[in-house]
Amino acid sequence: MHIWVDADACPAVIKDILFKAARRTGLPLSLVANHSMSVPPDKHITLTLVPSGFDAADDYIVEKCEAGDLVITSDIPLASDVLGKNALALNTRGDEFDKSSIRAALTMRDFMDTMRSSGEHTGGPKAFSQRDKQNFANALDRLLTQGLKAKKRQ
pLDDT digits (tens, 9 = 90+) for 46-82: 999 999 887 899 999 999 999 999 999 988 899 999 9
Domain CATH code at residue 79: 3.40.50
- How many whole angstroms separate alpha carbon 72 and alpha carbon 51? 20
Q: Dihedrals φ, ψ of 76, to 5°?
A: -65, -45
Give the domain extent around 89: 3-153
pLDDT tier for residue 3 given thresholds of 50, 70 and 90? very high
- Residue 2: pLDDT above 80? yes
Per residue in 121-153, pLDDT (tens digit) is: 666 667 889 999 999 999 999 999 987 776 655
Q: What is the pLDDT of residue 125?
A: 66
Q: What is the pLDDT of residue 84?
A: 94
Q: Dihedrals φ, ψ of 8, to 5°?
A: -55, -40
Which class for 128: exposed (0-12), middle (13-18), buried (19 or more C-beta within 10 A)? middle
In this structure, the strands spanning 29-33 and 45-49 are parallel
Per residue in 86-105, pLDDT (tens digit) is: 999 999 999 999 888 877 66
The pTM (predicted TM-score) of the whole model is: 0.84
Q: What is the pLDDT of residue 110?
A: 64
Overall domain count for the chain: 1
Q: Residue 96's closest CA among 114, 79, 113?
A: 79
